Amino acid sequence: MIFGLSVLPLCLRFMRRSAYTFRVPASLTVDRNAPDDAQQRQIIVSLDGEPIAELMFGDSVTREILAGPHTLLVDNTWNKKSINFTAAENEKISFLTKSRSTRFAEFLLMFFGAGPLKVFLTRV
């Protein structure tokens, strides 16, 4: 007892409240392994404005994320693409990203070794 008050009810109330706030994280995976990928340039992956990986062809990244709304951005330094999504607790979320060239870009790649590549991001 502290000053004539029992501490036990306060402890039990705190334990009861904290038991309900535990959350199981979701899992986010971004793969770059599409067969029609141009296989050139890195793709920078950002989650909620924070960079989490630079993917070359064949790479992937997996992160645990909190449940709730998120924004995923991929950038190949020529082009950007973003997707808003909501993660549920313990959900496994997968995205596929790739860089592809247009016919004109293939012409530039053939003669100059560089050209604009378009980036794609799809949920799988």
pLDDT in tens, 99-108: 998 777 777 7
Mean pLDDT of 33-59: 95
Q: How many Å apart are CA 77 and CA 108, to the nearest integer?
A: 17
Task: Provide the token pair at 109.
Answer: 């790649």
Q: Output the pTM of the full model.
A: 0.76
Mean pLDDT of 56-77: 96
Higher per-residue pLDDT: 40 or 49 = 49
SS3 content of the chain, % helix, strand, coil (to 5): 20, 45, 35
Q: Where are the domains of the chain?
A: 8-123
Q: What SS3 state is found at 70?
A: strand
pLDDT in tens, 67-123: 999 999 999 998 999 999 999 999 999 999 999 987 777 777 677 766 678 999 999
Q: Say which CATH topology domain 8-123 has.
A: Immunoglobulin-like (2.60.40)
Among 105, 19, 60, CA closest to 118 = 105
